[in-house]
Chain A
Amino acid sequence: MSEINLELNQVSRRFGGLQAVDHVSFNVTKPELIGMIGPNGAGKTTLTNLMSGMLKPSSGTIYLNGRRIDGHPPYDVTRAGLGRTFQITRALGRMSVLENMLVPGLAHNPRASKVDLTERAHEILTLLTIDHLTNELSRALSGGQRKLLELGRLLMLDPAVIILDEPFAGVHPRLQDTITNYIYRVHDNGKAIIFISHNMGAVFELSERLIVLHHGAVIADGDPQTVRSDPAVIDAYLGHDEDD
């Protein structure tokens, strides 16, 4: 089991007059399944972008396994051991599914043998039920299959912490089961997973810990049952927000 220590200290991000993320602090120190929820515009995706290096925080620090990663470019954060998927999938369209898998594999370890990486890619694609598409261009994949491919690419990196941005959105229920299996499996391999979802059923079923964001700030952080009955959460989110 790899070392896991993700540490956010007072992380904030402003966009002009909007405080998108407001002094967020939390730690991830063990292989947990963490659900992250919040109404639309609560700052979930911005926080993901801050953690993965796509955005720089206006203030605050982020450490991963003792290394400061805030403000570092995404490839550096990825190599430090934090991988992410995108809410809107970003398959490398005119490259084959296998090539999509080899890019992170070789980026992670340029000296790795292509044969070994290909073998590993096949194992992962089989787990994700898209092994029959190995040599297809990834732009020929359906929406759900692209989600699966993104999850597969993450495994090639072997990160300690994985952030999944809306892994279930727009995916056929049966493929959602495949994704759920994937999440359990990766979790069993000793990785921390933070997943953002609007699918409340999935969140309460999967997560061991729940972080609730509202107006960019963490309003609750704890086990799902406690969070569910937290008055602040009910008021801000579950109670009367008609969006969800």
Chain B
Amino acid sequence: MTNRGRSPDPQAIARNLLGSLGIYRVIDGIHRVGAAIGAPVSAGFKRFETRVDAGIGRRRLGFILLGLIILYFLWFPNDTSQSNYAKTVFISGFFYAIMSSSWALLAGIAGQFSFGHMAFMGIGAYVAGLIARDGIVFALLGVNVTPESISAVGAIILGTAAAGLVGLVIGWLLLRLRSAYLALFTIAFSELFRIMMLTEYDYTGGSNGLSLRPLLEIADVNTARQVEYYLMFGLLILCLLALYWVANSPIGLFLRAMREDEDAASALGVNVVRYKILVFVFTSMIVGFAGAIFYSDVGSERIIPEQLEILQMSLIIAYAVIGGMESLIGAAAGAFISRYMLEAMRQVVISLPFGMTTHDGSDAFVWDTGYWRFALFGVVMVFTLRYMRNGLLFPIITWFGGRDIAMKETVSKRESDDEHAARLEADDE
């Protein structure tokens, strides 16, 4: 078809214009450079892949790498070039890894999209702190716990128990609630708890927060940091082992069945009431325990209600989403890396080359990012949700043959009813 007698095609004009400016040549050039770099890289990766498959195997290689990472973390505090500040960043990274991975079990595996995770953590910390300060009377048992008679460990255990108990009640209240309703309910619960802590300032310290009884009493700051580091790292490993043990047991299978379809799971004999409550109690106790320890002057000297804000809870969720909501180790790694990056990006320093200087004579641009780092973090999350719903670490975990995300679909094997029937008919003959 010709264009004669018609108005000129605007697209054609644009193409000609761009062509005469040499834009296409530039784009083509970029493609060629990309291909020139990309081809050998991907070929090299293919070679590496076949060698791994023929040799030690991906799974074993994955475990070796994991072992090396753990060894690195064990060695890190002995690195004298690292400041105590860096250790503090790591300690809080471990804490948030516990938060995100346990949330991944609750939301990613069991399908209970809860916003109450931070509140359960807060219950653990606040109850431990209040009991250590004021003591508690168990009237029914006839036991009177005085502040003098209870140790920091005892207070932490009671805080954990309290978080579990509230988890039991909340889990029971949530039995008939699903998806959006469950999320709204837990937001309300979480805000309720935060506002209570804020309002009852005579008792809880209000916005000044509450100091818990220090778990460790080590005078030397360097030694203290080191012990705190190992304590929190040990706790993370312990929590991950517990979470994996649950996720890989029949309970984990039932939790996933519940996530997919509660009614169907129930019709298949899964006691959904029991497992829904169980997963709330279990994850509440984990975060209650971690919170009580973290705020017992291990990672932070006091718990403040600001920590329990929805924004903080959203960050936990964001870490898990970025790492991979349905993978426990993915969520933990997502949290740790995100925390580390958010800390590292507080100040961005760009050194200028060739002896150039800025207007005030320094040889580097210094950008105090402030809240901009959260904006960038938001961009990462948007990208993850749009293009990599299983998390940024998903390709890596699946490459190593991680089993905890069975999300791969082999579409090539899909078969319609007609094809299935045709195959059966062919078999009949």
A residues with CB within 8 A of B: 52-54, 73-76, 78-79, 83-84, 86, 90-96, 99, 102-104, 106-108, 110, 129, 132-133, 136-137, 139-140, 142-145, 153, 157, 171-175, 178
Q: In the complex, are the beta carbons of B417 and A145 less than 8 A apart?
A: yes
Contacting residues, chain A, for B270 (C-beta < 8 A): 75, 103, 107
Q: In the complex, are the beta carbons of B415 and A142 less than 8 A apart?
A: yes
Q: In the complex, are the beta carbons of B269 and A157 less than 8 A apart?
A: yes
Contacting residues, chain A, for B271 (C-beta < 8 A): 73, 75-76, 107
Given contacts A74-B266, A96-B406, contact A178 B253 (CB under 8 A): no
Closest to A137 in B: B409
| Interface: B27 (CB within 8 A) | no
Smallest CB–CB gap between A78 and chain B, Å?
4
Closest to B406 in A: A96
Smallest CB–CB gap between B420 and chain A, Å?
6
Secondary structure class of chain B's binding surface, majority of residues: helix
Contacting residues, chain B, for A178 (C-beta < 8 A): 424
Beyond the given A74-B266, A103-B253, A129-B424, could you list 9 further A-B residue pairs with CB under 8 A, ordered by the A residue number?
A76-B271, A84-B267, A86-B267, A92-B261, A93-B261, A95-B406, A104-B269, A136-B410, A139-B409
Contact pattern, B 241-271, Cβ under 8 Å of A = 1, otherwise 0: 0000000001001101100110111111111
Contacting residues, chain B, for A110 (C-beta < 8 A): 250
Given contacts A90-B264, A157-B269, contact A106 B417 (CB under 8 A): no
Smallest CB–CB gap between A84 and chain B, Å?
6
Closest to A159 in B: B269
Q: In the complex, are the beta carbons of A129 and B420 less than 8 A apart?
A: yes
Contacting residues, chain B, for A143 (C-beta < 8 A): 417
| Interface: B220 (CB within 8 A) | no
Q: List 28 A-B contacts (CB under 8 A).
A: A73-B266, A73-B271, A75-B267, A76-B271, A78-B267, A90-B264, A92-B257, A94-B406, A94-B407, A96-B406, A99-B253, A102-B253, A103-B257, A103-B268, A103-B270, A106-B253, A107-B269, A107-B270, A110-B250, A132-B413, A133-B413, A137-B407, A140-B410, A142-B414, A143-B417, A144-B421, A171-B417, A172-B418
Q: Of the candidates A52, A102, A142, which one forms a contact with B416 in the assembled complex, judged by CB atoms under 8 Å apart?
A: A142
Closest to A130 in B: B420
Contacting residues, chain B, for A99 (C-beta < 8 A): 253, 256, 406
Contacting residues, chain A, for B264 (C-beta < 8 A): 86, 90-92
The 7 A-B pairs with the shortest beta carbon distances in the complex, nearest first, are: A174-B421, A107-B269, A90-B264, A92-B260, A172-B417, A144-B417, A104-B268
Closest to A157 in B: B269
Q: In the complex, are the beta carbons of A140 and B417 less than 8 A apart?
A: no
User: What is the CA–CA distance of A54 and B268 in the complex, to the nearest angstrom?
Assistant: 12
Contact pattern, B 392-426, Cβ under 8 Å of A = 1, otherwise 0: 00000000000000111111011111101110110
Q: In the complex, are the beta carbons of B406 and A93 less than 8 A apart?
A: no
| Interface: B272 (CB within 8 A) | yes
Contacting residues, chain A, for B409 (C-beta < 8 A): 136-137, 139-140
Contacting residues, chain B, for A132 (C-beta < 8 A): 413
User: What is the CA–CA distance of A76 and B415 in the complex, to the nearest angstrom?
Assistant: 35
| Interface: B231 (CB within 8 A) | no
Q: In the complex, are the beta carbons of A153 and B268 less than 8 A apart?
A: yes
Q: In the complex, are the beta carbons of B250 and A106 less than 8 A apart?
A: yes
Q: In the complex, are the beta carbons of A75 and B269 less than 8 A apart?
A: yes
Q: Of the candidates A94, A107, A145, which one forms a contact with B420 in the assembled complex, judged by CB atoms under 8 Å apart?
A: A145
Q: In the complex, are the beta carbons of A175 and B269 less than 8 A apart?
A: no
Q: In the complex, are the beta carbons of A145 and B415 less than 8 A apart?
A: yes
| Interface: B273 (CB within 8 A) | yes
User: What is the CA–CA distance of A91 and B257 in the complex, to the nearest angstrom?
Assistant: 10
Q: In the complex, are the beta carbons of B417 and A175 less than 8 A apart?
A: yes
Q: In the complex, are the beta carbons of B263 and A136 less than 8 A apart?
A: no
Q: Of the candidates A83, A93, A106, A172, which one forms a contact with B260 in the assembled complex, judged by CB atoms under 8 Å apart?
A: A93
User: What is the CA–CA distance of A157 and B329 in the complex, to the nearest angstrom?
Assistant: 33
Q: In the complex, are the beta carbons of B425 and A103 less than 8 A apart?
A: no
User: What is the CA–CA distance of A110 and B408 in the complex, to the nearest angstrom?
Assistant: 27
Contact pattern, B 274-293, Cβ under 8 Å of A = 1, otherwise 0: 00000000000000000000
Contacting residues, chain A, for B424 (C-beta < 8 A): 129, 174-175, 178
Closest to A153 in B: B268
Contacting residues, chain B, for A104 (C-beta < 8 A): 268-269
Contacting residues, chain B, for A139 (C-beta < 8 A): 409
Closest to B268 in A: A104
User: What is the CA–CA distance of A76 and B272 in the complex, to the nearest angstrom?
Assistant: 11
Given contacts A106-B250, A129-B420, contact A174 B425 (CB under 8 A): yes
Smallest CB–CB gap between A203 and chain B, Å?
22
